[in-house]
Amino acid sequence: MPYQFCTVQDEGHVRIVTLNRPEVLNALHADANDELATVWDEFAARDDLWVGIVTGAGERAFSAGNDLKVQAGGKRRPNGPRGFAGICSRFDLTKPLIAAVNGVAMGGGFETALACDIIIAAENAVFALPEPRVGLIAGGGGVHRLPRSIPIKKAMGMILTGRRVPVREGFELGFVTEVVPEGQALASARRWAAMILECSPKAVRASKQASYHGLDEPTLEQAMRTIYPAQRENLESQDYIEGPRAFAEKRKPNWRNQ
């Protein structure tokens, strides 16, 4: 179906969502966020979609974040329960997400990337949480996800100043997974998606859920002794048998997500 604020392309088991407001550096408002929530709801529900990629239209920006002109015009309304870009407040998605960052990722744009599991960034990518400079805070997850992604003092150096961080520094800090030449972020994200698809989709989801939920456990022992729901689903799946069988038979596994 056609969308107003994004484009959606399904390539086999991969969904590619492109934020499509290049005239405003892919800044988003509540209507766009609602549309994207619907896109990601469908992605979560469909058994044939295993990996998601989000990127921005054009060469200048992934997303400049919240559309401040809409807010200044008095037209802003609260985002829906799924948050900015339809994913920043989505805590139940076990399918992996990859951000292909091409250019500016500011405010909600950076928060969208942080809500993904892997960030692939082009050489021209720039990251920031500049909300305090306009009297706001990065309440779409930035003030919480960034300190959980990099050392707290480094995170606060970004959060309290709103300063812009170039891609190489982002890689050194640890929130960028890979730096690629300008114009190659989406191609590299597709390559990472292909590597993920070599693995059992249920095992991938179990690994994601256990990793994130385990961080919330009070001790390492508690995290390791807990069997998370996606982990249980994987243990009871046909793919749990198919993987070792394919290894023993010296062939590639035929993952069925069952």
By annotation, the residues acting in catalysis are 111, 131
* Residues 86, 88, 89, 94, CA torsion sign: positive
User: HSE-up of 127 (CA within 13 Å, CB side)?
Assistant: 31
Burial per residue of 37-48, b for 16 or more beta-carbon CB atoms within 10 angstroms, e otherwise: bebbeebeeeee
- Token pair 């070599």 is found at 198
Task: Please count the CA atoms within 13 angstroms of the CA of 150 that sit on its side-chain side.
Answer: 20
Structure token pair of residue 191:
């390559």
Give how far the C-alpha of residue 114 lies from the chain's centroid of Cα atoms, to the nearest Å: 6
**In whole angstroms, what is the distance from residue 3 CA to residue 5 CA?**
6
Q: Count CB atoms within 10 A of the CB of residue 207.
A: 18
